[in-house]
Amino acid sequence: MAEISLITPIEYLKGVGQHKAELLKKELSVFSFQDLLLYYPFRYIDRTRFYKIRELNGSLPLIQIIGRVVSKEIVGEKQARRLVIQVKDDTGIMELVWFRGLKWIDRTLHPGLAVIVFGKPTEFNGRISISHPEVEIYNPAAKKIGNLSLQPVYNSTEKLKQNQLDSKGIQRLLENLTELSSSLIRETMPGYILEKYHLVTRLEALQAVHFPADQAALDAAIRRLKFEELFFIQLKLLRNKLLRTEKFKGCVFERVGEKFNEFYSSKLPFDLTNAQKRVLKEIRMDTQRGVQMNRLLQGDVGSGKTVVALMTMLLAVDNGYQACIMAPTEILARQHYLSIQQLVGPAFIQVEILTGSTKKKDRKRIHEALLDGSLHILIGTHALLEDPVQFQNLGLAIIDEQHRFGVEQRAKLWRKNSIPPHMLVMTATPIPRTLAMTLYGDLDVSVIDELPAGRKPIKTIHLYENQRLRMFGFMRQEIAKGRQVYVVYPLIKESEKLDLLHLEAGIEAISRAFPLPEFRISIVHGQMSAADKEFEMQRFVKHETQIMVATTVIEVGVNVPNASVMIIENSERFGLSQLHQLRGRVGRGAEQSYCILMSTNKLSADGKIRLETMVRTNDGFEISETDLKLRGPGNIEGTQQSGVLDLKLADLAQDQHILQVARNEVIAVFEADPALEKDENQLLREYFNVRQPGIHWNKIS
């Protein structure tokens, strides 16, 4: 056999062999020694504490007791045949039950023996029992009780368990592995960083995470491993950023010119909020440095990102560049187009819209105007990414609602100019800070954290199905005041047919409660053609209809200031960020706005928290923090393309502090040694040279 290293295939480990190796690969993706070493326990059982039988109840997790066997009998016939052993301590008596492996237990356990029993208690008719517990003969002379005070538990699968690879079996393999790998585990972090943050070595950490001597050793190990994970993600992200600024020049927007100034002084219909001003300043600084801007603009729904986008584009135009905005849907692109047209008025600058449904002849005209430079601003969908769309001089590309677009699409926009255009990515989905640092850690982040003055916070109420009449009454009352109402239904792929039935039933009920000619209703859902949707949307925008019944196509960006009521049906089925997005469709005008969350009476625990959170707060960041806690980062939109999901131990909801410290340290490292040339940073340099060849930089340039 070749020399052992951490990449040695797992079949060469003592106790594995061909068959188990196949299973480990298939079931756990454990291919090598290293993979097994990094297969961390998913929890630990505290075996230092012994419960008394009287303390036991059915809601306890795995526990252990010390007791004496008082009786043993086999009861039941055939399938129901089982071995029942009664154990007592000085507080009570309980039963241990086995349905399998009766013989072995029968041979080993006898009345009178003192035993340690370990397992999950259940309660039935006030009687406590444990089925298939682990039992050890109690030996007070033995130094350790059980094998470890904290016993690691590894995730296993049915197939693995059938082949002696339950949690204990995996632990045995790890024993074999750590014996021989202690000389192979190499440090990845520079010594000065370990010292500075009091981190244990990688060897100590890996040993302690699998075989913790005590809680303190385990805590130290976990802290070290989490730090390492988060540190290297930040190292990668910030190195990307550094390389990008070195490699790419940026278009220089030298001056604030006439279009910008004219717009500001004579067209802008309101005062900018301080947050809008601050963000514009940040963008202004970015775009005159001669380095490509890559900025994320986070702002809650209604915070006024569009006007910031427009003014940034005017800045580009004033400096002789073109600009574009890409939105994820046709409706949104059109919305941007209309609001920008409205803001700038006629004959100020040339603005066009390009989407999948743009006619061929218009398309041609637009392509030509882009090339000869007569078209200043192009707004559209991903149709902008197509090859025939060539600019004369694209200086700024804005992407709205980032999470719908991937990294690859960002890169496509870059290539539309010889000097990559400045990029401004706008998102109305507030992301928790930790997630932003990890998802967009290579971008600069601006936040509009202030709503325009005079906005009244939206009032949110939660009503149950049997309060529907109240909801209808409320709708009538608001419509009588001249307001408009959204009614939104969930439409989820897995239950699409049923959802469409609900939608139809809902439309019928609303049509009955709000009959013509007094009331008119718009209907928009995903099955309709783009043209039909647009037509219905426009009727609502023009206030020809008072009620808009829709599935979630209206989720993002739609702007009808006169609509002041958002009713969400089956609201318990929506995620928090979606609910927040939907609610953001109202509260855009001067009127008091309302959001009514309709739900069934049967709410899950999480569902309850979601609705309560919505009723309690309008703050998108607070909502996103709750969302992260409820669902974990894997289910938050946008995380799929990031390293977030590769995190083994670190938890973005809990480890904010470690993340912040790790990121600050990375920043300090690059400040002191941008190319990682110093001896003390050799390990970090190696991280890129040896183990991480995949900064796919050439892919983008």
- Tell me which residues touch ligand ADP (CB under 6 A): 270-273, 276, 299, 301-307, 428, 452, 559, 561, 588
**Pairing relation of β-strands 484-488 and 563-568?**
parallel
Q: What six digits make up the tokens of 588? A: 């855009």
Q: Contacts by 413-418 with C-beta closer than 8 Å and gap 24+?
A: 413/324, 413/326, 413/384, 413/385, 414/700, 416/389, 416/390, 416/391, 417/251, 417/391, 417/393
Q: Which is nearer to ligand ADP, 273 or 417 (CB)?
A: 273
Q: Which is nearer to ligand ADP, 335 or 545 (CB)?
A: 335
- Could you tell me the smallest distance in angstroms from the CB atom of residue 553 to ligand ADP? 17
| Residue 220 CB-half CA count within 13 A | 19
- Could you tell me the smallest distance in angstroms from the CB atom of residue 277 to ligand ADP? 9
> Which partner from the list Mg ion, ligand ADP, none does 376 bind, CB cut-off 5 to 8 Å by kind?
none
Give the count of beta carbons closer than 10 Å to the beta carbon of residue 206: 23
Beta strands in 342-474 (DSSP E): 351-354, 377-380, 394-400, 422-427, 444-448, 459-464
> For residues 516 and 538, what is the distance between their CA atoms, to the nearest angstrom?
19
Q: Which is nearer to Mg ion, 395 or 557 (CB)?
A: 557
- Could you tell me the smallest distance in angstroms from the CB atom of residue 428 to Mg ion? 6
- Could you tell me the smallest distance in angstroms from the CB atom of residue 598 to ligand ADP? 24
Q: Which is nearer to ligand ADP, 220 or 554 (CB)?
A: 554
Q: Which is nearer to Mg ion, 452 or 632 (CB)?
A: 452
Q: Which is nearer to Mg ion, 251 or 556 (CB)?
A: 556
Backbone angles phi, psi at 165, to 5 degrees: -105, 55
Q: Which is nearer to ligand ADP, 217 or 398 (CB)?
A: 398
Buried b (16+ CB within 10 A) or exposed e, 12-25: ebeebeeebbebbb
Residue type, 436: A
- Could you tell me the smallest distance in angstroms from the CB atom of residue 444 to ligand ADP? 18
> Which partner from the list Mg ion, ligand ADP, none does 452 bind, CB cut-off 5 to 8 Å by kind?
ligand ADP
Name the residue among 327, 329, 326 with its Cα closest to residue 530.
Answer: 329
3-class secondary-structure state, position 494: helix
Beta strands in 525-635 (DSSP E): 547-550, 563-568, 594-599
- Could you tell me the smallest distance in angstroms from the CB atom of residue 476 to Mg ion? 30
Buried b (16+ CB within 10 A) or exposed e, 64-77: bbbbebeebeeeee
Q: Rule CB under 5 A: is residue 304 a binding residue for Mg ion?
A: no
- Could you tell me the smallest distance in angstroms from the CB atom of residue 259 to ligand ADP? 19
Q: Which is nearer to ligand ADP, 358 or 559 (CB)?
A: 559
> For residues 593 and 584, what is the distance between their CA atoms, to the nearest angstrom?
10
Backbone angles phi, psi at 487, to 5 degrees: -125, 115
> Which partner from the list ligand ADP, Mg ion, none does 240 bind, CB cut-off 5 to 8 Å by kind?
none
Residue nearest to Mg ion (CB): 557
> Which partner from the list Mg ion, ligand ADP, none does 304 bind, CB cut-off 5 to 8 Å by kind?
ligand ADP
Q: Which is nearer to ligand ADP, 306 or 434 (CB)?
A: 306
Q: Rule CB under 5 A: is residue 557 a binding residue for Mg ion?
A: yes
Which range in 67-75, 86-94, 553-561, 598-606 contacts Mg ion by CB under 5 A? 553-561
Q: Which is nearer to ligand ADP, 133 or 302 (CB)?
A: 302
> Which partner from the list Mg ion, ligand ADP, none does 303 bind, CB cut-off 5 to 8 Å by kind?
ligand ADP
Spatial contact of 52 and 61, defined as CB atoms under 8 Å apart? no
> Which partner from the list ligand ADP, Mg ion, none does 302 bind, CB cut-off 5 to 8 Å by kind?
ligand ADP
Integer CA distances (angstroms), 191 to 200, 219, 286, 677, in order? 10, 20, 36, 16
> Residue 203 class from Cβ within 10 Å (0-12 exposed, 13-18 middle, 19+ buried)?
middle
- Could you tell me the smallest distance in angstroms from the CB atom of residue 18 to ligand ADP? 59
> Which partner from the list Mg ion, ligand ADP, none does 588 bind, CB cut-off 5 to 8 Å by kind?
ligand ADP
Q: Rule CB under 5 A: is residue 121 a binding residue for Mg ion?
A: no
Spatial contact of 463 and 470, defined as CB atoms under 8 Å apart? yes
> Which partner from the list ligand ADP, Mg ion, none does 559 bind, CB cut-off 5 to 8 Å by kind?
ligand ADP
- Could you tell me the smallest distance in angstroms from the CB atom of residue 361 to ligand ADP? 31
> Which partner from the list ligand ADP, Mg ion, none does 395 bind, CB cut-off 5 to 8 Å by kind?
none
Backbone angles phi, psi at 60, to 5 degrees: -75, 150
Q: Which is nearer to ligand ADP, 298 or 545 (CB)?
A: 298
Q: Rule CB under 5 A: is residue 638 a binding residue for Mg ion?
A: no
- Could you tell me the smallest distance in angstroms from the CB atom of residue 336 to ligand ADP? 9
Name the residue among 638, 618, 501 with its Cα closest to residue 566.
Answer: 618
- Could you tell me the smallest distance in angstroms from the CB atom of residue 290 to ligand ADP? 29
Q: Which is nearer to Mg ion, 208 or 623 (CB)?
A: 623
> Which partner from the list Mg ion, ligand ADP, none does 272 bind, CB cut-off 5 to 8 Å by kind?
ligand ADP
Q: Which is nearer to Mg ion, 297 or 568 (CB)?
A: 297
Q: Which is nearer to ligand ADP, 212 or 302 (CB)?
A: 302
3-class secondary-structure state, position 524: strand
- Could you tell me the smallest distance in angstroms from the CB atom of residue 556 to ligand ADP? 9
Buried b (16+ CB within 10 A) or exposed e, 579-614: bbbbbbbbbbbebebbbbbbbeeebeeebebbbebb
Residue type, 144: K
Which range in 150-158, 405-413, 555-563, 599-607 contacts Mg ion by CB under 5 A? 555-563
> Which partner from the list Mg ion, ligand ADP, none does 420 bind, CB cut-off 5 to 8 Å by kind?
none
- Could you tell me the smallest distance in angstroms from the CB atom of residue 452 to ligand ADP? 3
> Which partner from the list Mg ion, ligand ADP, none does 273 bind, CB cut-off 5 to 8 Å by kind?
ligand ADP
- Could you tell me the smallest distance in angstroms from the CB atom of residue 303 to Mg ion? 9
Q: Rule CB under 5 A: is residue 299 a binding residue for Mg ion?
A: no
> Which partner from the list ligand ADP, Mg ion, none does 234 bind, CB cut-off 5 to 8 Å by kind?
none
Q: Which is nearer to ligand ADP, 449 or 625 (CB)?
A: 449
Spatial contact of 503 and 529, defined as CB atoms under 8 Å apart? no
> Which partner from the list Mg ion, ligand ADP, none does 299 bind, CB cut-off 5 to 8 Å by kind?
ligand ADP
Q: Rule CB under 5 A: is residue 584 a binding residue for Mg ion?
A: no
Spatial contact of 448 and 279, defined as CB atoms under 8 Å apart? yes
> For residues 595 and 586, what is the distance between their CA atoms, to the nearest angstrom?
8
**Pairing relation of β-strands 351-354 and 459-464?**
unpaired
Which residues lie across from 379 on neighbouring strands? 325, 353
Which residues lie across from 350 on neighbouring strands? none
- Could you tell me the smallest distance in angstroms from the CB atom of residue 558 to ligand ADP? 9
> Which partner from the list Mg ion, ligand ADP, none does 326 bind, CB cut-off 5 to 8 Å by kind?
none
Give the count of beta carbons closer than 10 Å to the beta carbon of residue 48: 13
Residues of this chain that bind Mg ion (CB under 5 A): 557
